């Protein structure tokens, strides 16, 4: 079995965390770099993340994270800030085109702009949904890296994003003209001395329901 599959099979989303466990700087970097190097549609990279260790701010966020213990007890909360449509159009897309498209390939820039517009139209989604899809891919990459380095990682949708934004704005951690909260994660160490440290046993749907190989 590949190491990656082994990590995916073994990893769990913790529900209870060892309070005051702190990731090392190297561990934090490994996780953040996995987010930065994740692929994204048309290479747009339309998000950034906040790695929030500050417990006082996380206390303020807790009630808007469905009172999940990880909000404060985990080593940190990672919050993905996605970019809004005008910002994508006027800043992110041109910047990424300049960064990633070599000078001899000017037509590729317009191709990427068209591809972004066509995906949004073809899948009938908003810019925010497009951006969130890309953010979730990076979340998946970070989750596997975390397992490889022995860190427990829980993706977090259980929150009220608009209220999280208000708290982040109060602390000047988000630019609400251009950014929105799209998803989050808790990172730390599971506390097996607490009850219900994982939800239930790890079970998945049978292979035959999930995939079919066509030859």
Query: Would you put residue 190 in left (φ > 0), alpha (ψ -120 to 50) or beta?
Result: beta
Minimum Å distance from CB 13 to ligand FMN? 3
Minimum Å distance from CB 156 to ligand FMN? 4
Q: Does 158 bind ligand FMN (CB under 6 A)?
A: yes
Q: Does 178 bind ligand FMN (CB under 6 A)?
A: no
Which of the residues 50 through 69 are near ligand FMN (CB under 6 A)? 68
Task: For residues 48 and 182, give the distance between their C-alpha atoms in angstroms, rounded to a whole number.
Answer: 10
Q: Which is nearer to ligand FMN, 5 or 199 (CB)?
A: 199
The size of the interface with ligand FMN (CB under 6 A), counted in residues, is 12
Q: Does 98 bind ligand FMN (CB under 6 A)?
A: no
Minimum Å distance from CB 8 to ligand FMN? 9
Chosen residue from 132, 156, 181, 187 binding ligand FMN by CB under 6 A:
156
Q: Which stretch binds ligand FMN (CB under 6 A): 29-37, 76-84, 167-175, 195-203?
A: 195-203
Chosen residue from 154, 164, 181, 187 binding ligand FMN by CB under 6 A:
154
Give per-residue burial for 85-113: e unless 16+ CB within 10 Å, then b. eebbeeebbeebbeeebeeeeeeebeebe
List contacts with ligand FMN (CB under 6 A). 12-13, 15, 68, 154-158, 198-199, 202
């Amino acid at each position: 079995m590949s190491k990656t599959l082994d990590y995916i099979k073994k990893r769990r989303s913790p529900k209870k965390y060892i309070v005051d466990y702190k990731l090392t700087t190297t561990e934090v970097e490994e996780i953040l770099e996995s987010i930065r190097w994740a692929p994204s549609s048309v290479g747009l990279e339309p998000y950034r993340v906040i790695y929030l260790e500050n417990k006082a701010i996380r206390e303020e966020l807790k009630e808007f994270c469905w009172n999940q213990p990880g909000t404060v007890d985990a080593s940190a909360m990672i919050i993905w800030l996605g970019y809004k449509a005008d910002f994508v159009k006027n800043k992110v897309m041109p910047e990424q085109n300049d960064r990633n498209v070599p000078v001899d390939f000017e037509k590729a820039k317009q191709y990427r702009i068209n591809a972004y517009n066509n995906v949004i139209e073809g899948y009938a989604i908003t810019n925010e949904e497009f951006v969130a899809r890309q953010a979730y891919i990076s979340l998946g990459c970070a989750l596997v890296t975390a397992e490889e380095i022995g860190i427990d990682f829980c993706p977090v949708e259980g929150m009220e994003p608009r209220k999280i934004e208000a708290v982040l704005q109060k602390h000047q951690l988000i630019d609400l003209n251009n950014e929105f909260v799209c998803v989050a994660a808790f990172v730390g160490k599971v506390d097996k001395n607490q009850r219900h440290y994982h939800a239930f046993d790890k079970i998945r749907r049978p292979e035959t329901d999930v995939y079919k190989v066509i030859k």
